[in-house]
Structures are given as structure tokens and as C-alpha cells.
């Protein structure tokens, strides 16, 4: 029904209209401008640019012929601009000496050429460099948004906010046929909730038979080109589990996902559990873990679709976004089973009634 491999993540012609494509071209420069100005520390001008972006997006939402599937993207992008505008205005024009949180965006990525904390050739674990910096872990809050269904397609969004400021940093979007498992997701930055520019695309691939494990194909896309492909591959230890452990290599370093509380976290019959990330000595199965954990998560309250994520500060942007894309892909698939009874991870919920499925999911999320 649609091609989730498109760089812009646009639905196929059945979901796209000429009005949408026209408004898309109108918005690109307007959406980018305020984030570019923030990167240049021109905060007063950025406030004005955010205001302009809000006005343009509100006008575009009124364009006839745009499906609600696409209209929702404009609404969410406008909300990000309102959030950034209010955040900057709270400084009252006094920015010198103040710590100002900048949302990840294309302008920031373009000028970011740093390696992970410490040299990639260094024998010291990344967690060692982080502890030496004395900075506390980054803390994110993840919240689930409402599901949108149009022409048999589900669009589900999760938002990643900075815990201290409640500013939205990322949004994870999952698209799937209503009767099929979610097999691909997209991690979008604050300036890309509206679909353009760079994104981290994740393909969630089953190893074959029901009950076997999953692997993930992570692909960073930029300006229409595929780049930085990374695979997360189950280890031998994960042979009879759905998700953990999985290993991957990026930026000259090697990592493994572990589930530390004994819950697999991928099967619908079990409570949800975030995985913890560790660095390993090399890419082989059973390689020695080096240093402390780099990422972990917790669940807030019983039955609430809200979670806290923690990540060591100072990691390279590409690694941070890979980590977030991986874990958000898991939660998107797990919390959004298809409508029909299918074998595998979704089997448990698909067999329930609609009301029973919702209440059971809420209970399991606790």
C-alpha cells in the first residue's frame, strides 16, 4: 500500500495528493530556517522564524485535498515550533551565559563531525570517558501519541522529550497495514516531523518462524541517498528469544543489547522491558563487555504509556540516534499489533477482543 523505503516517507499515490506535494515544497525552507538560526545562536531571529513557520503550517493545514494522514504531520510540526518559540521567549532576550538546549536538526548534523567521546582508536571504554567528564546521564521522557488510521494504514507516533525542559527532541513514527505487523519505523528530528531531510529508518525483520528472534536493519538517509547502514544481529545466546541479545558495530566500536531483568520484552505475553546497551571488546559472539552500561530505561507507573530513558552523555550523535531508533522501533512494534490473528510476537493480542486488548496492553506496560 505504501513504500516505507522512500527517503521522504511519503505514502503512495493512494494517500498522496497534488495539494500535499505543493504544500510540501512551500514548507521546507520555512521549517528549516528557525533551527538554522538557533544553531547560529541568533535566538531573537529564531523566535521570529518559528512564528513564521507556525503561521505557514497553520495555513497549509487548511489546504483542500490533503488527507488527514498527511495533515497530522503539519499539525505536529507546528506544535514543535510553538514549543521552541515558548522555550526561547522564556529567556527574555538574555542568552549570554545561559545553557540553551538546542533540538537535534539538519543544521546541527551538517556541522557535526565528531567521534564518540574519546578516540575510536583508544582502548578505553566509552563509559570511562563519560565518567571522567563528570556529566550526569542524559534523561529522556517517551510518550505515546494517538493512533491514526486512514485507508487501512496505521500511523503511530511516539515523542522523545528532554526530561528537564520537556522540549521535544525526536519523534518516532511507525507505519503499517492495519492487518500486518509493523516492520519499519522512522526516527525523526525536531525539524523533520514534517517528512523531509535526514531520518533514521529501521527495518524490523523476523528471523523466520514464529517465536524466533528479530534482527534490525538501521539506515540513515540524507538528501535522497542511503548511508551508514548498520545491522543489529542476534547472538547465539538469543537463539530462542525474540529480541535480546543483539550485537552491532558503529563508528569503530562494538556493542550488545542485553535484557537485564530476565524478561524478553518482545513477546506480548510478557511485560515490557527496555534493553540495556553495553560496549564489547570486539564483534564476536560472547565478546567481553567493557565498561559500564551506556543506555537503559524504566517504566513510569502502572498502565501508563510513558517511559524514562537514560543515556551516557557525550556519545556521538550517530550512536545516540541509532540507540533511540532501535529501542523505539521495539516499543512501536510491541504496542501496535495487527488487527488479524498472526503467528509470532503479535499472536497474543490479536486473539483478544478490542477492549480486552487495550486493557491488557495497559496492564502489561506497567
72 and 176 share a domain? no
Which residue bears the cell 525539524? 191
* Residue where one domain finishes, among candidates 55, 85, 110: 110
Number of neighbouring beta carbons within 10 Å of residue 352:
16
306 and 262 share a domain? yes
| 7, part of any domain | no
**Alpha helices in 290-353, H assignment, sequence order:** 317-335, 347-350
Provide long-range contacts, Cβ within 8 A and 24+ apart, for 156-159: 156/182, 156/332, 156/335, 156/336, 157/76, 158/328, 158/331, 158/332
* Residue where one domain finishes, among candidates 86, 110, 134: 110
| 249, part of any domain | yes
DSSP string, 308-319: EEEE-TT--HHH
Could you report the average pLDDT of every consecutive run of 10 residues in the chain (366 residues)?
35 53 75 93 97 92 76 88 97 94 82 50 75 84 82 83 94 81 85 72 66 75 65 77 82 89 52 88 90 88 72 89 92 77 42 28 27
* Contacts of residue 297, Cβ cutoff 8 Å, sequence gap at least 6: 274, 275, 307, 308, 309, 310, 327
| 203, part of any domain | yes
137 and 67 share a domain? no
176 and 251 share a domain? yes
Position 297 scores a pLDDT of: 92
339 and 212 share a domain? yes
DSSP string, 211-227: T--EEEEEEEEETTEEE
Expressed as residue numbers, the domain containing 301 is 126-365
Position 247 scores a pLDDT of: 93
104 and 150 share a domain? no
Position 263 scores a pLDDT of: 56
Distance of CA 273 to the CA centre of its chain: 17
Enter the C-alpha cell of residue 317. Answer: 550523535
Beta bridge partners of 216: 204, 232
325/194 Cα distance (integer angstroms): 17
79 and 219 share a domain? no
For residues 312 and 126, the answer to whether their CB atoms sit within 8 Å is yes
Classify 138 as helix, strand or coil: strand
149/180 Cα distance (integer angstroms): 13
Per the structure, the count of domains in the chain is 2
Enter the C-alpha cell of residue 276. Answer: 540495556
CATH of the domain at 102: 1.20.58
| 4, part of any domain | no
195 and 311 share a domain? yes
248 and 278 share a domain? yes
97 and 141 share a domain? no
| 6, part of any domain | no
This prediction has a pTM of 0.82
Position 356 scores a pLDDT of: 29
286 and 341 share a domain? yes
73 and 208 share a domain? no
Amino acid at each position: 500500500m505504501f513504500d516505507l523505503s522512500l527517503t521522504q516517507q511519503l505514502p503512495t499515490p493512494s494517500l498522496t495528493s497534488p495539494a500535499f506535494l505543493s504544500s510540501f515544497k512551500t514548507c521546507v525552507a520555512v521549517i528549516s530556517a528557525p533551527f538554522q538560526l538557533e544553531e547560529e545562536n541568533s535566538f531573537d531571529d529564531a523566535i521570529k522564524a518559528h512564528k513564521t513557520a507556525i503561521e505557514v503550517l497553520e495555513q497549509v493545514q487548511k489546504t483542500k485535498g490533503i488527507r488527514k494522514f498527511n495533515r497530522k504531520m503539519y499539525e505536529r510540526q507546528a506544535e514543535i515550533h510553538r514549543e521552541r518559540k515558548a522555550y526561547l521567549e522564556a529567556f527574555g532576550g538574555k542568552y549570554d551565559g545561559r545553557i540553551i538546549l538546542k533540538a537535534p536538526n539538519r543544521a546541527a548534523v551538517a556541522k557535526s563531525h565528531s567521534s564518540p567521546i574519546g578516540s575510536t582508536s583508544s582502548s578505553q571504554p566509552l563509559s570511562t570517558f563519560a565518567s571522567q567528564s563528570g556529566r550526569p546521564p542524559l534523561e529522556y521522557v517517551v510518550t505515546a501519541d494517538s493512533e491514526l488510521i486512514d485507508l487501512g494504514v496505521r500511523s503511530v507516533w511516539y515523542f522523545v522529550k528532554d526530561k528537564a525542559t520537556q522540549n521535544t527532541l525526536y519523534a518516532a513514527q511507525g507505519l503499517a497495514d492495519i492487518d500486518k505487523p509493523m516492520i519499519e519505523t522512522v526516527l525523526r528530528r525536531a525539524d523533520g516531523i514534517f517528512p523531509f531531510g535526514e531520518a533514521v529508518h529501521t527495518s524490523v525483520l523476523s528471523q523466520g518462524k514464529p517465536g524466533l528472534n528479530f534482527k534490525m536493519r538501521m539506515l540513515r538517509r540524507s538528501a535522497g541517498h542511503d548511508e551508514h547502514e548498520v545491522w543489529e544481529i542476534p547472538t547465539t545466546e538469543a537463539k530462542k528469544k525474540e529480541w535480546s541479545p543483539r550485537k552491532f558495530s558503529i563508528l569503530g566500536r562494538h556493542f550488545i543489547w542485553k535484557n537485564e531483568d530476565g524478561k524478553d520484552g518482545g513477546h506480548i505475553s510478557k511485560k515490557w522491558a527496555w534493553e540495556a546497551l553495553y560496549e564489547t571488546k570486539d564483534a564476536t559472539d560472547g565478546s567481553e563487555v567493557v565498561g559500564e552500561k551506556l543506555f537503559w530505561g524504566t517504566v513510569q507507573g502502572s498502565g501508563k504509556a510513558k517511559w524514562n530513558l537514560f543515556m551516557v552523555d557525550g556519545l556521538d550523535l550517530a550512536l545516540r540516534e541509532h540507540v533511540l531508533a532501535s529501542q523505539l522501533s521495539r516499543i512501536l512494534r510491541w504496542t501496535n499489533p495487527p488487527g488479524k490473528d498472526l503467528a509470532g510476537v503479535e499472536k497474543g493480542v490479536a486473539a483478544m477482543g478490542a477492549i480486552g486488548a487495550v486493557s491488557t496492553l495497559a496492564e502489561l506496560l506497567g
